[in-house]
Copies of this chain bind each other. A is one copy, B any other.
Amino acid sequence: MSFPGGYQGKVLRVNLTEKTFSEETLSREVARKFVGGAGFGIKYLFDEVDPGIDALSPENKLIFASGPLSGTSTPCASRMAITTKSPLTGAVGMSLTGGYFPVELKFAGYDVLIIEGKADKPTYLAIQPGKVAFRSAEHLWGMNTFDTQEVLKGELVDQGYRIACIGPAGENLSRIAAIINERRAAGRKGVGAVMGSKNLKAVAVRGNKAVSVADNTAFNEAKKEMLKSMKDSPVLYSEMSNLGTPMVVEATCGLGIFPAKNWSATGQWEPVQELGIAANNSRRTGREHCYMCPVACSQMKLVREGPYAGAMSVPEFESMYCFGGQTGVDNIDSIIAADRLCDELGLDTMSAGVTVGFAMELYEKGIITQEETGGIELNFGNHQGMVALIKQMAFRQGFGDVLADGVRLAAKKIGRGSEKYAMHVKGLELPGYDVRGAKAHGLAFATAYTGADHNRGYAFQEIFGIPIPKAVDRFAIEGKGWLTKWNQDVRTATCDCPTMCAFLLDMAVPATATENSARLLTAVTGFAFTPEEVYQVGERVNNLARVYNVRAGFSRNDDSLPERIMTEPLAAGGSKGSYISREELSTMLDEYYAERDWTKDGLPTPEKLIELGLDEAVAFVAGEVEAAAAKEGN
């Protein structure tokens, strides 16, 4: 019996310590229950990686997984999850990327690539169907990610290879290091540091195997419906194809939630003219497609004049807030240069930018001095200082070494009360939304299994006013537990697992996301999915990730927000006066846990896990639940 459509049916397991590899058959049950992508990553992480290990030890694993839609002609499905225990948060680290590598891995015959152990010296993998070559990467060590890809294509004498690699940041074990493929990043949670800790510079992959589809007629029908939804979207082609995510600068400034000066001045300083649509479009020079994507949201920006002339990058909204607003920098050219530098050096733009903004606030407040920064001036708005620091962070030079692991560890090293200005949840730096004016979004940051992650439950209802599944008041507390669960589970189920670009959920099929996914998954895999089953996949994956984090020591206390968000009301702008008090957060958490059928301490119950078919997880919470009950009884 052949494997379901969409899957190649194979897991490639590579052991860097032993320099061995093996092919395993993908379990049909795992495929049915976890679909792919983040689902596969979290399932394998749960089963194989002890949450107690040091994330940068050889015991950690890196799990690359695309979903069943990847490599088919489904539009916007060239996505891949990279899952590991995060060295930045200590929790599940799951980061998604697009481009071409994800489908090339499928074309090479693999749904999942699991990388174990640690090479004794810098190594790269060259993967073809049924073959893995372990090759020295000593010559590539220290090389930027763009050069690495170019050099490897030459070295492998086949320009068709697709390559995921780390830059100096990952090699230097920066806990905010990214993995870069083409011009795209699996940016967050330090996945690049894990790759660096394994002495793995790059994975090059070249395939030639098509991805089959179980029912072509149904698939064509499903695709047609999806393409129609995309065309009907009021924003997908008209806005995303031409503006990309930077258009969110306007939206967030309009709501008074564009973070300014390390969240100290949100609503008071809204550089729309400098960083918004018009400014972005003045630097726009085209766009890039992921495989089989008709939208092409990646907007290439090129600086043609001034001191940053020649810098080219595809900065997202997140680059505008992290190198812009929240550092007080309104020089868009420097933001493009900083974004490019991070891609080359393999640093997560968001964490890097927030960390620079954090240092700027310390500098402004006199907590750190120019002597400490090695002469770099770090006032808010100093773009030269920002660009200089980014490079130092990747190479761990000078003051950059203090900042290279993100705000939480930097605050720990600096001390002097600096933790107060470290904007993170569970160690992951905050995305570009001041959640004091978007409270479900704040709850999502507090509860996402990856830390403050805008992509694990994006509250588009609050940010864009989309009334799906219902209209919400962004300042309200009530109902946000329910909404956050919905946002998390739907996004996990319809984007992170199948795998599919999240923008389609937000912009094309918000109302019919589970139906759309059910149709596509059924047609492609031949498994009969109902929309309800799709939704349940999201719930299943979020529950399993939660149990993993519980095993790693996380509890309700960690479902929190930075002190500033909980104590300082916004002083001006469209969300003036608003904040998420500790009590409000607590109320929202209560509702959220209840909606999830978790205990008041945020523990999945055995019953819930069994309902979701997660029998493997029960043992890990049973004791915890009793202990919690005993504690409540006290």
Question: Interface digits, A545-567 against B, CB 8 Å rule (1 contact, 0 not)?
Answer: 00000000000000000000000
Whether the pair B391, A309 counts as a contact (CB closer than 8 A) is yes
Whole-angstrom CA separation of A54 from B394 in the bound complex:
48
List residues of chain B with CB within 8 A of the CB of A143: 285, 302, 310, 312
Whole-angstrom CA separation of A312 from B146 in the bound complex:
11
The residue of chain B having its C-beta at the shortest distance from the C-beta of A313 within the complex is B147
A397 at the interface (CB under 8 A from B): yes
Whether the pair B142, A302 counts as a contact (CB closer than 8 A) is yes
Interface residues of A in 290-313 (CB under 8 A from B): 300, 302-305, 309-310, 312
Question: Interface digits, A122-147 against B, CB 8 Å rule (1 contact, 0 not)?
Answer: 00000000000000000111111011
Question: Interface digits, A363-388 against B, CB 8 Å rule (1 contact, 0 not)?
Answer: 00000000000000000000000000
Question: Interface digits, A179-190 against B, CB 8 Å rule (1 contact, 0 not)?
Answer: 000110000000
* Known contacts A140-B285, A151-B286, A344 near B310 by CB under 8 Å: yes
Whole-angstrom CA separation of A150 from B142 in the bound complex:
21
Whole-angstrom CA separation of A160 from B286 in the bound complex:
21
Whether the pair A310, B139 counts as a contact (CB closer than 8 A) is no
A121 at the interface (CB under 8 A from B): no
A4 at the interface (CB under 8 A from B): no
A interface: dominant SS:
mixed
A216 at the interface (CB under 8 A from B): no
Interface residues of A in 101-159 (CB under 8 A from B): 139-144, 146-147, 150-151, 153-154, 159
Whole-angstrom CA separation of A395 from B311 in the bound complex:
12
Whether the pair B309, A168 counts as a contact (CB closer than 8 A) is yes
A288 at the interface (CB under 8 A from B): yes
Whole-angstrom CA separation of A302 from B139 in the bound complex:
9
Candidates B154, B302, B345; contact of A310 at CB < 8 Å: B345
Whole-angstrom CA separation of A391 from B409 in the bound complex:
37
A289 at the interface (CB under 8 A from B): yes
Whole-angstrom CA separation of A147 from B286 in the bound complex:
13
Q: How many residues of chain A are within 8 Å of chain B by beta carbon?
A: 35
Whether the pair A300, B391 counts as a contact (CB closer than 8 A) is no
Whether the pair B391, A144 counts as a contact (CB closer than 8 A) is no
Whole-angstrom CA separation of A337 from B154 in the bound complex:
22
Candidates B285, B305, B310; contact of A144 at CB < 8 Å: B310
List residues of chain B with CB within 8 A of the CB of A160: 159-160
Candidates B144, B183, B304; contact of A142 at CB < 8 Å: B304
Whole-angstrom CA separation of A159 from B291 in the bound complex:
13
The residue of chain B having its C-beta at the shortest distance from the C-beta of A310 within the complex is B144
Whole-angstrom CA separation of A289 from B154 in the bound complex:
8
* Known contacts A159-B160, A309-B395, A345-B310, A300 near B139 by CB under 8 Å: yes
Candidates B142, B146, B159, B304; contact of A146 at CB < 8 Å: B146
* Known contacts A139-B285, A142-B285, A160-B160, A391 near B310 by CB under 8 Å: yes
A533 to chain B, nearest CB (A): 36
Whole-angstrom CA separation of A617 from B302 in the bound complex:
48
* Known contacts A139-B285, A289-B154, A312 near B144 by CB under 8 Å: yes
Whether the pair B151, A300 counts as a contact (CB closer than 8 A) is yes
Whether the pair A154, B345 counts as a contact (CB closer than 8 A) is no
A393 to chain B, nearest CB (A): 12
The residue of chain B having its C-beta at the shortest distance from the C-beta of A147 within the complex is B312
A249 to chain B, nearest CB (A): 22
Whether the pair B146, A150 counts as a contact (CB closer than 8 A) is yes
Whether the pair B395, A154 counts as a contact (CB closer than 8 A) is no
Whole-angstrom CA separation of A302 from B151 in the bound complex:
12
Whole-angstrom CA separation of A397 from B303 in the bound complex:
14
A33 to chain B, nearest CB (A): 36
Interface centre among A303, A312, A397 (most CB of B within 10 A): A312
Whole-angstrom CA separation of A345 from B309 in the bound complex:
10
Candidates B153, B286, B391, B394; contact of A139 at CB < 8 Å: B286
List residues of chain B with CB within 8 A of the CB of A309: 142, 168, 391, 395, 397
Candidates B310, B344, B397; contact of A168 at CB < 8 Å: B310
List residues of chain B with CB within 8 A of the CB of A154: 182, 288-289
A394 to chain B, nearest CB (A): 8
Whole-angstrom CA separation of A143 from B106 in the bound complex:
33
List residues of chain B with CB within 8 A of the CB of A139: 285-286, 300, 302
Question: Interface digits, A250-263 against B, CB 8 Å rule (1 contact, 0 not)?
Answer: 00000000000000
Interface residues of A in 227-268 (CB under 8 A from B): none
Whole-angstrom CA separation of A391 from B311 in the bound complex:
12
Whole-angstrom CA separation of A182 from B153 in the bound complex:
11
* Known contacts A310-B395, A312-B147, A391-B309, A153 near B159 by CB under 8 Å: yes
A15 to chain B, nearest CB (A): 26
A314 to chain B, nearest CB (A): 11
List residues of chain B with CB within 8 A of the CB of A397: 309
Whole-angstrom CA separation of A286 from B143 in the bound complex:
11
A604 to chain B, nearest CB (A): 44
List residues of chain B with CB within 8 A of the CB of A142: 285, 302-304, 309-310
A207 to chain B, nearest CB (A): 13
A297 to chain B, nearest CB (A): 15
List residues of chain B with CB within 8 A of the CB of A344: 310
The residue of chain B having its C-beta at the shortest distance from the C-beta of A345 within the complex is B310
List 21 interface pairs A-B (beta carbons < 8 Å), by A numbering: A139-B285, A139-B302, A140-B285, A141-B304, A142-B285, A142-B302, A142-B309, A142-B310, A143-B285, A143-B310, A143-B312, A144-B312, A147-B312, A150-B150, A154-B182, A154-B288, A159-B159, A160-B160, A309-B395, A309-B397, A310-B395
Residues of A whose CB lies within 8 Å of any CB of B are: 139-144, 146-147, 150-151, 153-154, 159-160, 168, 182-183, 285-286, 288-289, 300, 302-305, 309-310, 312, 344-345, 391, 394-395, 397
Apart from A142-B285, A154-B288, list 5 A-B contacts with CB within 8 A. A139-B286, A139-B300, A143-B302, A143-B310, A150-B183
